[in-house]
């Protein structure tokens, strides 16, 4: 067990920085029934050595699904916009790529599936993010019963992580290889 979220975050980000390349989430997601049945997927535009979302976004758009992408506000909350295509994203805060039209923070409630970034995830559904609280706020707006998956690498799924009361659990970990169900289930 890590002594704090900061210690856990530092450990996993340091380990991630030693990766020689980033894995692509398309292979892990493409065969999953929840992905095929979702008409609207809330996702994110990956950066650096995060599990890569570009091919997954392109595939979802090519198969006539809506993809909601986050828009980072000055207070670190998230709005959402429909992805127009990778070439049509605009520069956002902190170097992020964002859709040009903001549908507001409650648009995430229209998603049939949510795939969010994470630094690590515990088998009980605790998600460790980068520390800004953006996704914890956004995930609290997700419609009950909607699957929420954290995108990580297999080695970033651990037995236990520090958690706070405001942390929003996830139901599964999506890795470049497969989906790992977590004890934090849709029945919660």
Whether 44 has a binding-site annotation, put simply, is no
Whether 135 has a binding-site annotation, put simply, is yes
Here the tokens at position 58 are 């392109």
Whether 46 has a binding-site annotation, put simply, is no
Whether 17 has a binding-site annotation, put simply, is no
- How far CA 13 is from CA of 48, 67, 74, 130, 166, in Å, comes to 11, 27, 24, 9, 22
Whether 81 has a binding-site annotation, put simply, is no
> Which residues lie below 8 Å from residue 75, measured CB to CB, with a gap of 6+?
none
Whether 132 has a binding-site annotation, put simply, is yes
Whether 98 has a binding-site annotation, put simply, is no
Whether 103 has a binding-site annotation, put simply, is no
69 by Cβ neighbours in 10 Å (0-12 / 13-18 / 19+) ranks as buried
Whether 82 has a binding-site annotation, put simply, is no
Whether 153 has a binding-site annotation, put simply, is no
* ∠ Cα 109 112 116 (to 5°): 75
Q: Residue 132 and residue 26: Cα distance in Å, rounded? A: 27
Whether 141 has a binding-site annotation, put simply, is no
User: Residue ranges for the binding site?
Assistant: 45, 50, 127-135
User: Residue ranges for the binding site for ATP?
Assistant: 127-135
User: Residue ranges for the binding site for substrate?
Assistant: 45, 50
């Amino acid at each position: 067990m890590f002594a704090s979220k900061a210690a856990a975050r530092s450990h996993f980000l340091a380990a991630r920085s030693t990766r020689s390349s980033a894995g692509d989430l398309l292979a892990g997601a493409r065969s999953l029934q929840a992905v095929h049945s979702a008409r609207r997927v809330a996702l994110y535009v990956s950066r650096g050595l995060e599990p890569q979302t570009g091919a997954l976004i392109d595939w979802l758009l090519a198969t006539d699904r809506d993809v909601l992408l986050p828009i980072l506000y000055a207070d670190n909350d998230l709005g959402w916009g429909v992805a127009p295509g990778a070439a049509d994203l605009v520069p956002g805060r902190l170097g992020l790529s964002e859709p040009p039209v903001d549908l507001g923070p409650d648009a995430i409630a229209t998603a049939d599936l949510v795939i969010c970034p994470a630094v690590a995830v515990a088998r009980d559904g605790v998600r460790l993010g980068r520390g800004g609280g953006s996704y914890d706020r956004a995930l609290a707006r997700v419609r009950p019963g909607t699957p929420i998956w954290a995108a990580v690498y297999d080695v970033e799924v651990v037995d236990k992580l520090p958690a706070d009361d405001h942390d929003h659990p996830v139901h599964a970990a999506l890795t470049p290889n497969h989906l790992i169900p977590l004890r934090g289930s849709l029945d919660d």
